[in-house]
Structure 1
């Protein structure tokens, strides 16, 4: 942010055209002269460069005047700083990256690809809310702890790929890893958004036990079941024919996901396509809003020195020039 603290001093620059006009009028009126009985001795003498540059001192003074006016107006460059007076929402996103997320019942590619797009949009809409990411399949890994650095979180999200973790669906472990990041949080609202398309079949922690711990810690869990109803198209690698597709039944433990959400005061959602998944995250974003009080401070740095000292140097140069090389007989 740039500003002039005392902009009225800029009006001094308006005198420059008036002074230029006055100088030109005086030049047209003629200057003092000397009489010589004969000028023959001066014939052939060329005028020196000082005669041709005799107006330079006046120009330098005008430039100095403009710089002085700008310096007196006190140009300042401001840097804004925000002080957040209240805590936002702390959100851990638990994203299923098991093999079943390769099902191609979500356009344009598969469930994981679309889930990453929707989660990215959700994160980009956050402000002053910390968010983190847990990725799970046969086990759960914290890929990003709670942070306000959304750029770093989005880069981690982009790196999530199928097959990066041994296969399986450890929902209870994913919730436990998320709770571990939220247990020391002092935020007004603490939330886990669980995105999965399967049934818990791995891990030592049962999802309902994790939900009860979440309730004790004051953490709300939103569960999102991802997958169409009926059959879904799955890619399968055949040793003879290579990559082939099979229609397999969609198995989502909706009853368990619903109980997890109800235990913590959250909500269970079922997303059967990309538009419904987008609507679900939009609704979660609306539900988890807290009032943020922010004070904005602007620190200004004075810039007049960069104008004042050159202006004084120009004035000094003009005075010295008029007293020496450009001196005139009165």
Structure 2
């Protein structure tokens, strides 16, 4: 027999169960004492037998033991005993999630700190932990887009690619989110041709960007991609904006006043929201905690996953229902006995009256 907890924790669980059972025993004894005390307030203990001949404490003892047995069976059901084996089908489902990560110059802004790109990377890491069975792919974009990691179940490989990405990964300046969406379309199509399957209801595009767009209209592109899968957007940055300076290497080749070598980079929530709506998804702004990732993960849970594998395994059977039924029987018997107590007392009283009449 095995239980839901590891074997090494058996002494701990046994101690907890023994403590709970002892607590239930003491509580029941306390309630019985209080019941007797209330009775003795009205009738002296030595006169109970004369004034209340039908009353006996023995008739209440089954209530005590039935309650204690019910608690014991509940504790056993909580431990989930496993015994006996049977063949059990194991079906694993997964979703295809393409992450579109903005690596343009504006993502080097230090709001939120340390940089927008670093915070976006942290959010992706948190999402990976919540979706261990899903396939992830990575597309980065600035003035152009490139697929850095195709859809894969190997999260270790995905993380290694993600850690290597920075603002210098792509050479073309700008922010062309539309090209990233088109790259996602091509990635989904290439994956379908290679591995088969063309279900659109398990495909997700997650965009992490500040929303600044300097190229074509991403909203119109999102409407076309929306038929292929859901698009969710995570806004990185602050609507108030922050000053961005041109890199030092660019200053060597551009002759402009210093005030023109800076611009204010703001989070464009309006554009990101429109993209999400066009893609039948949702938008959320980055938060200091993981509330944003929890929201996105909750949305992902509503997306139907495709069957990744279907196997049969010979596994122990969880028999928690048996002690649970036994606990229910004990509590039901307790209620039945409680209902029979008046009848038992009347019957006992009649037996005592027969010798008196004789």
What is the TM-score of this pair, normalised by structure 1? 0.56
Query: 1:268 offset after TM fit, Å?
Result: 1.5
CA distance in 2, matches of 1:103, 1:147: 30
Residue 99 of structure 2: SS of its match in structure 1?
strand
Alpha-carbon distance, 1:248 to partner: 4.8
1:201-259, Cα deviation, whole Å (9 max, x unpaired): 13xx5312321222222x1001122111323253554669xxx9998533333322212
Instruction: Tell me how far 1:188 sits from its aligned partner.
Output: 4.2
Corresponding residue for 2:141? 136
Counterpart position of 1:192: 205
> Structure 1 CA distance, aligned partners of 2:226 and 2:124?
24
The residue number in structure 2 matching 1:314 is: none
Corresponding position: 1:215 with 2:226: yes
> Is 1:94 equivalent to 2:100 in the alignment?
yes
**How far apart in 2 are the matches of 1:283 and 1:146?**
23
* Aligned equivalents of 1:235, 1:200: Cα separation in 2: 17
Provide the secondary structure at the position in 2 that maps to 1:94: strand
Higher strand share: 1
Judging by fraction of residues, say which structure has more helix: 2
Q: Is the 8 A contact 2:209 2:234 kept in 1?
A: yes
Moved more, 117-126 or 178-187: 178-187
Q: 2:298 aligns with which of 270, 274, 286?
A: 286
Contact residue 220 and residue 264 of structure 1 kept, 8 A: yes
Q: Which runs of 5+ in 2 are unaligned?
A: 1-87, 193-197, 253-257, 316-358
2:109 to 103, 111, 122: 103
Q: How does 1:42-81 map to 2 (within 5 A)?
A: none
Structure showing greater radius of gyration is 1
Check whether the contact 1:88–1:188 (CA below 8 A) recurs between aligned residues.
Answer: no
Equivalent residue, structure 1, for 2:152 = 147
Tell me the distance in 2 between the aligned counterparts of 1:144 and 1:83: 32
Equivalenced residues, count: 208
Match of 2:3 in 1: none
Alpha-carbon RMSD: 3.1
**8 Å CA contact 1:134, 1:142 repeated in 2:** yes
The residue number in structure 2 matching 1:61 is: none
- Whether the 8 Å CA contact 1:103–1:235 is kept in 2: the answer is no
Check conservation: 2:238, 2:267, Cα contact below 8 A: no
Gap regions ≥5 residues in structure 1 = 1-81, 300-330
Given candidates 290, 294, 313, the residue that maps to 1:297 is: 313
> What is the TM-score of this pair, normalised by structure 2?
0.52
Structure 2 residue 173 is the aligned partner of structure 1 residue 173? no
Partner of 1:168: helix, strand, or coil? coil
Deviations 1:156-213 (A, max 9, x none): 00000112212210100111111222243436421101111142213xx531232122
What do residues 112-141 of structure 1 show as CA deviations (whole Å, max 9, x unaligned)?
A: 011111111211322221110000001000
CA distance in 2, matches of 1:84, 1:143: 32
Partner of 2:121: 116
Distance (whole Å) between structure 2 residues aligned to residue 84 and residue 214 of structure 1: 33
Judged with a 3 Å threshold, the aligned counterparts in structure 2 of structure 1 residues 216 and 224 are, in CA distance, closer, same or farther, namely: same
Contact 1:87–1:188 (CA under 8 A) maintained in structure 2 = no
Task: Determine helix, strand or coil for the equivalent of 1:288.
Answer: helix
Residue 235 of structure 2 corresponds to 225
Q: Which residue matches 1:69?
A: none
Contact 1:231 1:247 in 2 (8 A): no
